[in-house]
Structure 1
Amino acid sequence: MRLDSHQHFWKYNPQKHSWITDDMKVIQRDFLPEDLIPILAEHQIDGCVAVQADESFRETAFLCDLAEEHEQIKAVVGWADLGSDDIDKDLDLFASQKKLKGYREILQSKNVDYMLRKEFIRGIEKIGKRGYTYDILILHTQLEAALQFVKKAPEQPFVIDHIAKPNIKLGIWREWKKEMAPLAERDYIYCKVSGMITEADWKKWTVKELQVYLDVALELFGPKRLMFGSDWPVCKIAGEYEQVLEVIERFTDKLSKTEKEAIMGNTAAEFYGI
Structure 2
Amino acid sequence: MRIDAHQHFWRYHPVTHDWINAEMTAIRKDFLPADLAPVLARNSIEGCVAVQADQSEQETDFLLALAKENTFIKGVVGWIDLRSQDIEERLAHYKQNRHLKGFRHILQGEEPGFMLQPDFLKGISLLNDHGFSYDVLIFPQHLEAALQLVRHFPQQRFVIDHLAKPGIKDHLIDEWKKGIGAIAEHPNVYCKVSGMVTEADWQNWKPADLYPYLDVVTEAFGTGRLIYGSDWPVCLVAASYDEMIAPVKEYYASFSASEQQKIFGANAMDFYHL
TM-score bin (small chain):
over 0.9
1:121, 1:153 within 8 Å by CA — same for their partners in 2? Answer: no
Question: What is the alpha-carbon distance in structure 2 between the residues aligned to residue 65 and residue 26 of structure 1?
Answer: 25
3-state SS in 1 of match to 2:4:
strand
Residue 223 of structure 1: aligned partner: 223
Cα shift readout 1:192-234 (whole Å, capped 9, x = no counterpart): 0100000011000110010000011100000110011000000
Q: Which residue of 1 aligns with 2:260?
A: 260
Shift of 1:178: 0.7
Matched to 2:82, the amino acid is L
How many residue pairs end up in the alignment?
Answer: 274
Aligned residue number for residue 177 of structure 1: 177
Q: Secondary structure at the match of 2:31?
A: coil
Moved more, 84-93 or 130-139: 84-93
Is 1:21 the equivalent of 2:21? Answer: yes
Separation in 2, partners of 1:52, 1:220: 27
| CA distance in 2: counterparts of 1:173 and 1:268, whole angstroms | 26
**C-alpha distance after superposition, 1:144-189 (max 9, x if no partner):** 1111111111110000000000000100111111111111011000
1:165 is aligned with what amino acid? K
Shift of 1:73: 0.2
SS in 2 for 1:4: strand
For the aligned residue pairs, the C-alpha RMSD in angstroms reads 0.7
- How far apart are the structure 1 equivalents of 2:13 and 2:90? 25
The residue matched to 1:75 in structure 2 has which SS?
strand
Deviation of 1:16 (Å)? 0.4
Runs of 4+ in 1 over 4 A off after TM superposition: none
Contact 2:91 2:130 in 1 (8 A): no
One-letter amino acid of the structure 1 residue matched with residue 58 of structure 2: R
Contact 2:190/2:221, CA 8 A, preserved across alignment: yes
The offset of 1:93, in angstroms, is: 3.0
- Provide the rounded CA distance (Å) in 1 between the counterparts of 2:92 and 2:262: 32
Q: CA deviation at 1:43?
A: 1.0
Cα shift readout 1:113-144 (whole Å, capped 9, x = no counterpart): 11001111111111111010000000011111
SS of aligned partner of 2:97? coil
TM-score normalised by length of structure 1 = 0.99
Question: 1:92, CA displacement in angstroms?
Answer: 2.9
Distance 1:84 1:54 in 2: 17
Q: Partner residue of 1:65?
A: 65
* Mapping for residues 99-178 of structure 1, pairs under 5 Å: 99-178=99-178
2:249 maps to 1:249: yes
Q: Secondary structure at the match of 2:94?
A: coil
In 1, the alpha carbon distance for the partners of 2:93 and 2:58 equals: 11
One-letter amino acid matched to 2:25: K
Q: Is the 8 A contact 1:80 1:103 kept in 2?
A: yes
Shift of 1:95: 2.3
- Tell me which residue corresponds to 1:37: 37
- Whether contact under 8 Å (2:92, 2:130) holds in the other structure is no
What is the SS of the residue equivalent to 1:9? coil
Deviations 1:48-99 (A, max 9, x none): 0000000000000000000000000001000001111110122233222101
CA contact (8 A) 2:55 2:80 kept: yes
- Sequence identity of aligned pairs in percent? 49
| Unaligned residue ranges in structure 1 (runs of 5+) | none
Task: Report the Cα offset of residue 23 of structure 1.
Answer: 0.7
Segments of 5+ residues of structure 2 without an aligned counterpart are none
* d(CA) in 1 for partners of 2:91, 2:155: 19
Render the CA deviation track for 1:17-44: whole Å, top value 9, x for unaligned: 0000111000000000000001111111
Cα distance in 2 between the residues matched to 1:213 and 1:10: 29
TM-score when normalising by structure 2: 0.99
State the match for 2:202 in structure 1.
Answer: 202
Q: Using the alignment, how far apart are the partners of 1:246 and 1:172 within structure 2?
A: 23
- Please give the secondary structure, in 2, of the residue aligned with 1:180: helix
DSSP 3-state at the match of 1:135:
strand
Distance 1:223 1:8 in 2: 25
